[in-house]
Structure 1
Amino acid sequence: MREIFAGMPWWVKWVAVPVIALVVFGGLIASVLHFVIGLLFKLLVFVALVGGLIYVVRKFKAGSASRSDW
């Protein structure tokens, strides 16, 4: 790979090639990022819902245990 870019100016390696890669693969990169961010958001919502459920169940059990002591 180094032999290919050996005679090229610096801007070809560091500007032109990344820009071409973004143009060609930009849609793929965007869709992968969208999928990963969506998955992380759904995971966060899942964790929040499970945590809320555990909180409600513990509160309910603590409340029913104190009522049964009467």
Structure 2
Amino acid sequence: MQEILRGMPWWVKWVAIPLIAIVVFGGMIASFIGILVWLLFKVLLFVAIVGGLIYVVRKFMTTSSSSSDRSDW
């Protein structure tokens, strides 16, 4: 690879080739980032729903257990 780029100016190596790579693979990179963001959103949504469910169940259990304690006496 170095033999191919040996006589080229610096801007070909450090500007033109990376820009071409971004143009060619940009859609794939954007899709990959979009999938990662979508997956992170789904994980956070799952954690929030499970946390809310646990909160509601614990709140209901403490309320029902305290009301059943009062009805015993």
Percent sequence identity over aligned pairs: 67
What's the counterpart of residue 9 of structure 2? 9
Q: Which runs of 4+ in 1 moved over 6 A?
A: none
Matched, 1:37 2:37: yes
1:10 Cα deviation from its structure 2 partner: 1.9
Q: What are the superposed Cα offsets for residues 11-70 of structure 1, whole Å, 9 maximum, x if unpaired?
A: 112211110001101111111111111011111100100010011111111111111110
The 2-side partners of 1:51 and 1:40 are apart by 16
The 1-side partners of 2:30 and 2:44 are apart by 21
Q: TM-score, normalised by structure 1?
A: 0.88
2:35 corresponds to which letter in structure 1? F
Q: Flag structure 2 segments of 5+ consecutive residues without an equivalent.
A: none
What's the counterpart of residue 52 of structure 2? 52
Q: Flag structure 1 segments of 5+ consecutive residues without an equivalent.
A: none
1:37 corresponds to which letter in structure 2? V
1:26 corresponds to which letter in structure 2? G
